[in-house]
Homo-oligomer: A and B are copies of this chain.
Amino acid sequence: MSSEIEYKVKSRVWILTEAGTFLGEGRIELLNKIDEFGSISKAAKSMKMSYKKAWELVNSMNTQCKEPIVVGKIGGKDGGGSVLSETGRKLVVQFNQLNQETIEFLNEKVSKIKWG
């Protein structure tokens, strides 16, 4: 056994409103996949999530924000589909940044604490 045990930190962050969870890692992953595939059903499939569940999550996010986060795509080669609104893209960036800042904050704190 090595003489020193190395301690690391992990965190998860959620943004909530009165209605419950607004944003969390899973919801952000879903938004990223919707943006990637341009489709809620393809995004759901890629996460092994039912379309119903994905739609409920999107609906939950849209109703907890003044601006819609996921919007219908009009026309184009494939027609229809869904994309992130500007607000949706901004929220993904803000959430990822908050997550990153939290990890940096915690790494800094935890490195100064003697756990063992």
Contacts and interface: CB of A to CB of B under 8 A. Distances in A.
A2 B61 CA distance: 17
B101 A109 contact: yes
Interface stretch (A16-24, A37-45, A48-56): A16-24
Given A91-B115, A116-B66, A14 B10 contact: yes
The number of chain A residues touching the other chain, given as a range, is 20 to 34
B12 A6 contact: no
Contacts of A115: 15, 22-23, 65, 91, 94
B14 A13 contact: no
B13 A8 contact: no
A91 to B, nearest CB: 7
A116 to B, nearest CB: 5
A66 B7 CA distance: 12
A94 B113 contact: yes
A6 B18 contact: yes
Interface of A: 5-18, 22-23, 64-67, 91, 94, 98, 101-102, 105-106, 109-110, 113, 115-116
